[in-house]
A = this chain, B = another copy of it.
Amino acid sequence: MPKIVDSEEYRKELLDKCFDLFANKGYANVTTRQIAKELGISTGAMYHYFPSKQVLFEQLVDRISWQDVKLLKSIAHDGTIAERIYRLGQLLIEYEEHFVKQAVIWTDFYHHHALAEINDNPVLQQVDRRYQEAIEELLDLPDPKLARFVWTLINGILFEQVESAYSFSFAEQIDLLSQMLIAYCEKHLA
């Protein structure tokens, strides 16, 4: 029993260790040898902990999503809409690097699966729902669609951070988004 716990812990440790690698190079551009090297173990040992590269990646994505949701749930959920939006923004700014990488990896994940496969995967569906729920709970907007939409826009900003050399700062963009949301809420949800 305790051994399994250790092993389980070790697996999570390994997943965390290759987070950056996938975020920087993308799934298809990273070889199993590179992963093993980054993890400081042999390829054989890697296959002892994960049945395949694909499964390793999937477990990484899964783990990240839990971390994200946990982070989102850690924010205080009281106060006005404007206050809650502000707090979300502050969280994103604080963990900018993490969220940018998460967005990159998530994109890669979808690229490497057929859509049918994704929609049939109950684990992924659940993860997706949990993101949605976390945002919904936090912002507590009248329309759940609106919460999802906010997350969509945030992802847009996160992608932009990776891709463009000309983008202005993440904090500035998150601020701007907050102001837009607040203006929208004041006008339409008053």
Interface of A with B (CB < 8 Å)? 25-29, 104, 106-108, 110-112, 115, 118-119, 125, 128-129, 132, 145-146, 148-149, 152-157, 159-160, 162-168, 172-173, 176-177, 179-181, 183-184, 186-188
Contacts and interface: CB of A to CB of B under 8 A. Distances in A.
B111 A29 contact: yes
Contacts of A188: 179, 183
16 contacts: A26-B28, A28-B29, A29-B111, A106-B163, A107-B159, A108-B111, A119-B165, A128-B166, A132-B166, A145-B168, A152-B173, A155-B159, A179-B184, A183-B183, A183-B186, A184-B184
A97 B54 CA distance: 29
Q: How many copies does the complex hold?
A: 4
Contacts of A187: 183, 186-187
Closest 7 CB pairs of A and B: A156-B156, A28-B28, A183-B183, A26-B111, A183-B187, A152-B160, A180-B184
Contacts of A160: 152, 155
A163 B107 contact: yes
Nearest to A110: B163
Contacts of A153: 153, 156-157, 177
Most buried by B among A125, A157, A177, A183: A183
